[in-house]
Amino acid sequence: MAQSTVTKKGCADKKIIEDEWSLDVMIMDTLGLGLTPTIESIFASDSFFEFESWVKKRMVELFQTQK
């Protein structure tokens, strides 16, 4: 039987959460989004589409400042 990401109590395995967090931070760093602004945008967004739009807008801003 394959190991489930979610335990019987409905909680994700602690190791998986830690691994996912490390990947999330790596992506934010690589894109130059910043931890605090990204977390704020996630919680302020009503949908994934809205968050995705924020990321795209931020990427354009970062690209323009590098010119």
Q: What DSSP designation does 12 have?
A: B
**Could you say which DSSP state residue 2 is in?**
P
Condensed to tens digits (0 to 9), the pLDDT of residues 30-67 reads: 999 999 999 999 999 999 999 999 999 999 998 898 87
Is this prediction's pTM over 0.85? no
DSSP code of residue 35: H
Q: CA of 5: how far to CAs of 18, 22, 24, 48, 58, in Å?
A: 12, 16, 17, 22, 32
Sequence length of the chain is: 67
